[in-house]
Chains A and B, each alone.
Chain A
Amino acid sequence: MQSPDIRRVVMSRRGFLLRITALCAVIAVPMARWIRQTEDTRVVQALRGRYYPGPVRPLDQESVSRPGKWAG
């Protein structure tokens, strides 16, 4: 049986480093993007909304003067 060409099986140092770098880039680049996306958009205080998205009606002064039906 003929033995395989050792140069085709064994990886060169340059090849190994290239592959490791490529692998790291594949993992690190999307992760960095994701981290940056979430890090940059952490918000505590919201902007004051100008428009209420539901139906709007004037305050009923008569109902204000009565205790609320809600708990609390």
Chain B
Amino acid sequence: MIIRCDLCPKRCMIEPGQSGECRIRVNLDGRLVAVTYGHPCTVHVDPIEKKPFFHFLPGTTSLSLATVGCNLHCKNCQNWEISQQNPEEVPASPLSPAEIPKLAAAHGCRSVSYTYTDPVVYYEYTADSSLCVREAGLKNALVTAGYINREPWTELCRKVDAVRIDLKALTDKFYQDICGATLQPVLDSLITTRSLGVHIEVINLLIPTLNDSDREIRALCQWIVQNLGREIPLHFSRFFPNYQMKNLPPTPASALIRAREIARSAGLYYVYLGNILVPDGENTFCPECGDLLIERRAFEVLKNTIENGRCPRCNRQIYGVWL
């Protein structure tokens, strides 16, 4: 019997014995089975800034895990060795949802991040683990491309505390040509997340000649301002040649600095530059009085003056989930 997987917009028709495009949702005897459930292929303790989350428990560590598989096939994927592989080819370790908060607490983590590949495809593992993590008094963070149908996404958002969504470009052509996906479901996920009150940060990888024109950057920033709000942190990240996209050069620093100027002129309060060291690229300033609130270098927090989520100088509330 053929199964249609309605988890993500690809709606794969899966023949018996076959998997969907994500490689890990398999039709076994007419039943859809998540074969990587409880078996992450990688588990690490990362600084939360590595995700990157800059307005979510800054300066803390997060137990970060992933299983094999992804529903997107980005030509520039940095983690293709785990995202674009079959589970048969990648070793994994047994780790039940109930064991995750214990492991996180043992390593002094304040949160668990479902990251590296895409937690959307190991949906059931993410959902069950999030409940266990929340029960243990820790927080959950998703690092995702947001390519999922509305109903399952809404359900998952109710179980997590923060979502970092990769908005790869604001054109359907980019999503189709580079990622094998479409734009609209990602925009829908962003709007749904915001409407549910879950903390969001957005990242945009600037790839030379593909999505780095002033017009495209401006359109992306304006979309965020109009649909999510000025306070949503936006991270511009530097591209490095990788996987099937080794023909393009790394993003020049000037392009990232220009993108930051465009984002600020569009009205965004918190704009960051990642994968590169430039002056104030990772620092948080108060949008009211301009005071330096959080000073960062690489993934390290050097100074954090935010008190109870507010600027200590002008008392303005700063968007985020603070300690």
Which residues of A approach B to under 8 Å, CB–CB? 37-38, 41-49, 51-60, 63-68, 70-72
Contact = CB atoms under 8 A, between A and B. Distances in A.
Given A52-B39, A54-B87, A70 B79 contact: yes
State the majority secondary structure of interface residues on A: loop
Contact of B93 (A42, A58, A71): A58
B6 A53 contact: no
State the majority secondary structure of interface residues on B: mixed
Interface centre among A45, A60, A70 (most CB of B within 10 A): A70
Nearest to A59: B93
Contacts of A43: 3-6, 32
Contacts of B299: 67
Q: How large is the interface on B (under 10, 10 to 19, 20 to 34, 35 or more residues)?
A: 35 or more
B123 A46 contact: yes
Contacts of A56: 39, 91-94
A49 B2 contact: no
B91 A54 contact: yes
B4 A41 contact: yes
Interface string B32-54: 11111111001111110011000
Given A43-B32, A52-B87, A58-B93, A63 B115 contact: no
Contacts, number: 135
B292 interface: no
A56 B5 CA distance: 26
Contact of B13 (A38, A49, A63, A64): A38
A70 B82 contact: yes
B71 to A, nearest CB: 13
Contacts of B7: 44-46
Contacts of A57: 91-93
Interface string B75-86: 000110010001
B4 A59 contact: no
Given A45-B123, A64-B63, A66-B45, 5 more contacts: A43-B4, A46-B123, A48-B125, A58-B93, A65-B45
A52 B36 contact: yes
